[in-house]
A and B are shown apart, each in its own frame.
Chain A
Amino acid sequence: MKTDDLIASLSADTPQQQTPPRRAFAIAIVIGAIIAGGAFMLTLGPRPDFMHAIQTLRFDFKFVVTLVLAISALLVARDMARPEVRRSRMRPLLLAAPILLILAVALEMMVVPSDLWMPRLIGHNMRFCTTMIPVFALGPLALLLWAFRRGAPENPARAGAVAGLIAGGIGAAFYAAHCFDDSPLFVATWYTLAIGAVTALGAFLGSRFLRW
């Protein structure tokens, strides 16, 4: 095939209104959150004392840290979908959630006597937590990978990992509404583990499906 012939035929492949990456991410977030929220309401649902809990700092912090993670990772992801962006200016934002978490843990350890640290860290629901966060994250993860396929990420595994961070953050935010373990010690341990698993899955899937 001559290159000129290829070019002629490519120009005949007129735009089929493929979704541009930015819009694809918006769609993935909205529909992903609806799917995760639906799965959450059908399985666990919010804890019975939700209205009371929402007035407590520890409970609210779970949403702050998980949503900060999801939003910061989303901002990075939108840049990563562009091939020419070698290093997203948004990348430092990824430190926000870990820093918040470390500060919260430090505060917790200051106000809680040390013999309560381990009980709070172990909590009541760790197995549940590490299972359900990834379950709620699956729908968003699949959609975010689809969005990334509309893009052209320079590093497919890393892009998949960032998709995993977003999905993990969304899944964790829903799970947090159910969970009675509100201590930052619990969150820092088990939420991190669960979101880490989603991130690893994202990296694996990314390396397989995001190449272009």
Chain B
Amino acid sequence: MPAANTSDSGSPEKAWAELMRAGLAGDAAAYRQLLEAIAPRLRKFAANGLSRIGNADVEDVVQEILLAIHLKRQTWMQDQPFLPWLNAIARHKMIDVMRRKGRRGEIPIEGLIDVLPDMPPEPESSQSELTKLVSRLDGKQQTVVSSISLDGQSIKDTAAKLGMSEGAVRVAFHRGLKKLAELYREGGTA
């Protein structure tokens, strides 16, 4: 879905900011479109950062950063530029990853994600770190997150399957995502 990349100046700032605004207002499709536009750039960003470390799966880092973007999306102030915010989140998580790998990486401060080319995912990667972390969640959170994130079930179907209210599923899902971010910080599966 490359539509989000088109803008007059070549910078995705305007298009992405609009999608984010819509997303924050509850437009799930716009939000999804935004994350899909960001992910290929993040992949390049992560690959660049990790090339000096090796051994970490680029896709794992992309997923960790996406999760952070998601959980911290309320900290973007809608009257401010979007790209500096996005870059700051990506950079913060990248430094975190490098620290966990025992390196203090040098990451340029300005102009990261918006100037990088897209990078497609590796065709078939090994079981992702996130999948392993999901298996470490507590009972209900694990069931709910597996159902929605791994099996691709909707909130509604998950609620019906588990005999929970949709509200309860939403709460468990959101808490599960927060917990996943915490598990990453604690060193992931490493």
Contacts and interface: CB of A to CB of B under 8 A. Distances in A.
B103 interface: no
Contacts of B154: 12
Interface stretch (A2-10, A91-99, A103-111, A187-195): A2-10
Nearest to B89: A83
A18 interface: yes
Contact of A83 (B29, B92, B134): B92
B152 interface: yes
B66 A10 contact: yes
Interface string B79-95: 01000110111001000
Contact of B63 (A6, A22, A212): A6
Interface in A1-37: 1-16, 18-22
Nearest to B71: A212
A84 interface: yes
A11 B63 contact: no
B88 A83 contact: yes
Interface stretch (A65-73, A117-125, A146-154): A146-154
DSSP majority for the B interface? helix
A211 interface: yes
Contacts of B109: 86
Contact of A16 (B149, B171, B181): B171
Given A84-B85, A84-B87, A6 B66 contact: yes
A12 B148 contact: yes
A22 B131 CA distance: 34
B170 interface: yes
B177 A13 contact: yes
Interface residues of B, number: 48
Contact of A1 (B31, B84, B128): B128
Main SS of the interface on chain A? Answer: loop
B114 interface: no
Interface stretch (B2-10, B32-40, B47-55): B32-40
B117 interface: no
A137 interface: no
A6 B130 contact: yes
A40 B150 CA distance: 52
A58 interface: no
A212 B35 contact: no
A21 to B, nearest CB: 6
Nearest to A22: B77
B87 A3 contact: no
A5 B75 contact: no
Contacts of A154: 88, 92
Interface of B: 23-24, 26, 28-29, 31-32, 35-36, 39, 59, 62-63, 66-68, 70-72, 74-75, 77, 80, 84-85, 87-89, 92, 109, 121, 128, 130-131, 134, 148-150, 152, 154-155, 170-171, 173-174, 177, 181, 185
The 3 closest A-B pairs by CB, nearest first: A11-B32, A83-B88, A9-B149
13 contacts: A2-B121, A2-B128, A3-B62, A7-B39, A8-B32, A11-B29, A12-B28, A20-B75, A83-B85, A84-B87, A152-B89, A154-B88, A212-B71
